Amino acid sequence: MTVVMEAKGVRRYYEVRKGMLAKPAVVRAVDGVSFTLEAGKTLAIVGESGCGKSSLARVLAMLEQPTDGELLIDGLPTLAQEPDRRVKLRRAVQMVFQNPYGSLNPRHTVGRILEEPLEINTDLSREARAEAARAILARVGLRPEAYGRYPHMFSGGQRQRIAIARALMLNPRVVIADEPVSALDISIQGQILNLLMDLQDELQLAYVFVSHDLGVVHHIADEVMVMYLGRPVEHGETSLLFDRPAHPYTRALLGSRPRIQTGDKTPRKTLSGELPSPLRPPPGCAFHQRCTFATELCMRDRPELRQVEGRAVACHHAETVLAAAA
């Protein structure tokens, strides 16, 4: 399989000013993320809000440059390229956003929304652009009349179809989907997930799927990366992580998700506390204050990612966690 995207120790820091004289604080929104993504595969990034998953998505979509580390698309490093080459690489990665109400220009017709990427990036004629837009509309399941209409005339699910169509206009290799179905009703969610899976099979698209909905992630992703406070804490094959999580945080996330239950209900295993402030991350393991497995070692030394039973996990006690579940 061909690797279409590779991240090597990607970091993204932001400076936060704390007054005129104070030294600006640094928020390590993304702190060392590495992965490889093959054509036709889906990598899901999960975590609570503030864990850096959306910042990572923006770096991967080349909307922001990494503070440190390297991002390779189709084997080519994005930072070292000449500006015109970089523009070409950028076409290979497209993004679908969470809110289909805010991410489409209300003053443009659907046709214009779809043709804009072609207008900027290609020298296709007006007719060829219109033809491409109409073809893609049919592909995402919208009627031809949609071409001349405005976004407000569509429902949420249909708008998300338009957003997906726009992302596909430049034949990308990778689509970054940031919570693409979380704003939609359940019955519509299924339609959009089916469309995404169909398109993936047909076009060999690679997806980076950012989501907090573990049910959806379990269904669609090949690999899952769990992030906590800017760092990956566990990364591996979906079924492995869902069946046998090795990081206490992954375990807690899975335990706290709601399930349909009847009869005698088993209460969820809830996690106490909240995500610590990224401005003042705790010393040692960032998760130790909420962790039931934490020891003195966790308060002192930050665990690095290491291989345990087929997945990468950043926990001193991964073996204990696995043994506790068995």
- Binding piece for other proteins, criterion CB under 8 A, among 13-21, 58-66, 266-274, 307-315: 266-274
CB crowding 145-154: b at 16 or more within 10 Å, else e: ebbebbbeeb
- Paired sense of beta strands 3-16 and 68-73, if any: antiparallel
Asked whether the beta carbons of 315 and 285 are under 8 A apart, the reply is yes
Give yes or no for residue 262 binding other proteins (CB under 8 A). yes
Binding track, positions 20-59, relative to other proteins; x by CB under 8 A: ----------------------------xx----------
Give the residue with the Cβ less far from other proteins, 83 or 258: 258
Q: How far, rounded to the nearest angstrom, does the alpha carbon of residue 296 sit from its chain's CA centroid?
A: 33
121, 108 contact by CB (below 8 A)? no
User: Residue 311: beta bridge partners?
Assistant: 308
* Binding segment toward other proteins, per CB under 8 A, in 74-82, 164-172, 210-218, 293-301: 210-218
Q: How many Cβ atoms sit within 10 Å of the Cβ of residue 15?
A: 10
Cβ of 35: how many Cβ atoms within 10 Å?
18
User: Residues 2, 65, 171, 256: which binds other proteins (CB under 8 A)?
Assistant: 256
Q: Binding segment for other proteins among 5-13, 58-66, 89-97, 182-190 (CB under 8 A)?
A: 182-190
Residue 47 gets the label, from left (phi > 0), alpha (psi -120 to 50) or beta, of left
The least CB distance from residue 254 to other proteins, in Å, is: 9
Using the rule CB under 8 A, is 19 a contact of other proteins?
no
Residue 69 or 245 having the CB closest to other proteins:
245
Q: Which is nearer to other proteins, 125 or 270 (CB)?
A: 270
Verify binding: residue 253, other proteins, rule CB under 8 A: yes
| Among 216, 223, 214, CA closest to 181 | 216
Burial class (CB in 10 A: 0-12, 13-18, 19+), 316: buried
Binding to other proteins, residues 272-291 (CB under 8 A): 272, 274-275
Cα distance between residue 277 and residue 22, in whole Å: 18
User: Given the complex with other proteins, which of 71 and 196 has the nearer CB atom?
Assistant: 196
Residue (78 or 238) nearer to other proteins, CB: 238
Binding site for other proteins (CB under 8 A): 48-49, 155-157, 185-191, 193-194, 197-198, 212, 214-216, 218-220, 238-239, 252-253, 256-263, 265, 267-268, 270-272, 274-275
